[in-house]
Amino acid sequence: MKQISILAVVTAFLFIGFQADAQKVFATRNGRITFESPTDGDVKAVNNEVTSRIADNGQLTFSLLMKGFKFKLAEMQEHFNDQYAESTKFPRADFKGNIVNLKEVNFTKDGSYKVSVKGDLTMHGVTKNVTVNGVVEIKAGKPTARGSFVISLKDFKIDASSVTEKVDVEVSCQYQ
Amino acid sequence: MKTLLKRSLAVLCLICTHFFAHAQQVDLFKMQDSASAAEDKNKTERTLNTFYSTRLVTTQTVEITGKGSMDFRINHRFAPLNQGFYNLFGLDFVSARIGFDFGLSDNLMIGIGRTGTNKEGDGFLKYRILRQQSGTKNVPVTISLLGAMAYRGVRYADPTLNVKTKDRMYYTAQLMVARKFNEHTSLQISPTYTRYNRKLFLTGGAQDLFSIGFLARQKVSKRVSINAEYFVQTQRFDGTYNPLSIGVDIQTGGHVFQLHFTNSIGMNEHTFIHETFGSWGKGDIRYGFNISRIFTLGGKKNK
């Protein structure tokens, strides 16, 4: 009898422990990232196969294949992969960051939270620290993240000056 | 006693897992790296841009015009350089082919064209059967098939020749096998069959002709490549030579400029492979250039 009660106490303690410590991770494989040139509206592509994860400890990651960017113009897509992004040499773009103002986000409570995410963006073999402002929305316990930022292609050693110098990037992910 | 031991063990195990779970905080950064690595291991990479364009100099490459795109191509061949300064080294005379190519699907294209010399109209269909790829699925080469025909519209003054419509038709079937060895070097072999329904002002050779084309591309920068193409014929018309062309491709956005030197004036398969009367050895070299401009058909949707 005594043993059973000890067991019960330990088990209860364990459960409480898990409750307090378990980290919640949300993920998606169908995140959406688009970019568009601010000077030439034809230079526009969308990638709907972005893998992304967000955890309630503030970590946020994105990973995508450069060849996953779809352009309206098949020729433009080939040039993008062949000459600018050099997708065979650098197939992946990757972001690893943290929510700076994590205290203002409550993952357990529905609502819309403004966030600032700081982290390392790796693309075309170059890693740069970037800050992205966006919104994390919690709905029925599941987060959605949206954000936008501007990339100066020179920073990533992509020489596309004849096409565009900057691109506006938009991110939209609905996590499960 | 036995049950007590069992229970203690179970509790111990639980505590262990508990601490283990504590120690192992989930790190999304590491999780992403391992997931990406696993994914990269299982993917198949399609080879892009074996050649810059659907033609190397005059010869068709395995490339297909993008779906929904129209490629407006103007090819020029000048007179031979060895005509000297009086003809400005050949630049006073030019033969041109104006053509439109259309990408029908990812692997199928058609094209039509008109050449000044001999007033030829031509049409072709090119289909990519196989695409080079690496990864889980390895395909070492890209293979395309070409079917082309041309109609020679020039008027023959001599009525006794009795030239019928079918005598003006020329047919070509070509198999193209290409491999992109690395970012810089691509090679292609093109076994070719050409049919002359009638030999007009040509002696020797045959009406059914076989040849093999050799094409090479060497990139010297991201936007510039040096190209060469050469055809070996099994049978030749009298007075003709094997065509050899050496050129440079310059790629700028939606345009490709192709500048080259060649001993052939023809721009359709049967003419440039089998009716090349110039010889590199004798200096019958012509300057030529192609301009390709890609347009998109189908309006601007989904803004």
pLDDT of residue B60: 96
Confidence of residue B301 (pLDDT cuts 50, 70, 90): very low
Identity of residue B234: T
Residues in chain A predicted with pLDDT less than 50, given as ranges, are: 17-20
Predicted confidence band at B280 (pLDDT cuts at 50, 70, 90)?
very high
Q: What is the chain B residue with the closest CA to A59?
A: B28
Establish if A70 touches chain B: CB-CB under 8 angstroms: no
Nearest CA in chain A to B46: A88
Which one of A14, A22, A53 has the shortest CB-CB distance to B14? A14
Q: When comparing pLDDT for A3 and B262, which is higher?
A: B262
Summarised one tens digit per residue, pLDDT across range B2-39 is: 666 666 666 565 555 555 444 446 788 888 888 888 88
Nearest to B198 by CA among B174, B173, B242, B164: B164
Q: A-chain residues within 8 Å CB-CB of B29?
A: 59, 61, 96
Note whether A110 contacts B: Cβ–Cβ < 8 A.
no
- Under an 8 A CB cutoff, do A63 and B40 touch? no
Q: Give the pLDDT confidence of B62-76 residue by residue, as tens digits.
A: 999 988 889 999 999
pLDDT at B158: 87
**Could you say which residues from 78 to 107 on chain A have a Cβ atom under 8 Å away from some Cβ of chain B?**
78-79, 81-83, 87-89, 91-92, 94, 96
Of A17, A54, A55, the CB nearest to B18: A17
pTM of the model: 0.77
Instruction: Count CB-CB contacts under 10 A for residue B277.
Output: 15
3-state helix/strand/coil string of A74-94: HHHHHHHHHHHCCCCCCCEEE
**Domain B44-296 class?**
mainly beta
What's the pLDDT score for residue B15? 55
What pLDDT sits at residue B7? 66
Mean pLDDT over the full length of chain B: 88
For residue A20, the model assigns a pLDDT of 47
B27, B36, B106 member nearest A63 (Cβ): B36
Residue length, chain B? 303
A19 CA: distance to closest CA in chain B (Å) = 11
User: Could you give the angle at which helices B2-23 and A2-21 cross, rounded to 10 degrees?
Assistant: 10
Q: Which band of pLDDT confidence, cut at 50, 70 and 90, is reported for residue B159?
A: confident
Domain locations in chain B as residue ranges: 44-296
In percent, the amount of chain B with pLDDT more than 70 equals 89
Question: CA A50 to CA A116: how far, in whole Å?
Answer: 20
- Return the pLDDT at B27: 86
Tens of pLDDT, residues B191-244: 999 999 999 999 998 999 999 999 999 999 888 999 999 999 999 999 999 999
Kindly report the three-state secondary structure assignment for every residue of chain B: CHHHHHHHHHHHHHHHHHHHHHHCCCCHHHHHHHHHHHHHHCCEEECCCCCCCCECCCCECCCCCCCCEEEEEEEEEEEEHHHCHHHHHHCCCEEEEEEEEEECCCCEEEEEEEECHHHEEEEEEEEEEECCEEECCCECCEEEEEEEEEEECCCCCCHHHCCCHHHHEEEEEEEEEEEECCCCEEEEEEEEEEEECCCCCCCECCCEEEEEEEEEEEECCCCEEEEEEEEEECCCECCCCCCEEEEEEEEECCEEEEEEEECCCCCCHHHHHHCCCCCCCCCCCEEEEEEEEEEECCCCCCC
pLDDT in the model for residue A42: 83
pLDDT confidence of residue B297? 77
* CA distance, residue B188 to nearest chain A CA (Å): 19
Fold of A24-174: Lipocalin (2.40.128)
ipTM: 0.72
Shortest CB distance from B66 goes to which of A18, A73, A91?
Answer: A73
Assess contact for B197 and B169: CB atoms under 8 A. Answer: yes
Predicted local confidence at residue B3, as pLDDT: 65
How many CB atoms within 10 Å of residue A74? 19
pLDDT of amino acid B174: 97
- Report the residue of chain A nearest B135, measured CA to CA: A88
Task: Measure B96 CA to nearest chain A CA, in Å.
Answer: 25
Tokens 């104006």: give the residue.
B98
Residue pairs between chains A and B whose CB atoms are closer than 8 Å: 101
**CB-based contact B143:B61 (threshold 8 Å):** no
Contact check, Cβ <8 Å, B69/A74? yes
B44-62 mean pLDDT: 91
Chain A residues whose beta carbon lies within 8 Å of the beta carbon of residue B68: 74
- Distance (Å, whole) CA A52 – CA B28: 10
What is the percent of chain B with per-residue pLDDT over 90, rounded to a whole number?
Answer: 60
- Specify the higher pLDDT residue, B89 or A78: A78
CB contact under 8 A, B251 and A83: yes
* Mean pLDDT, residues B258-284: 93
Nearest to B296 among A73, A78, A81 (CB): A73
- pLDDT of B23: 43
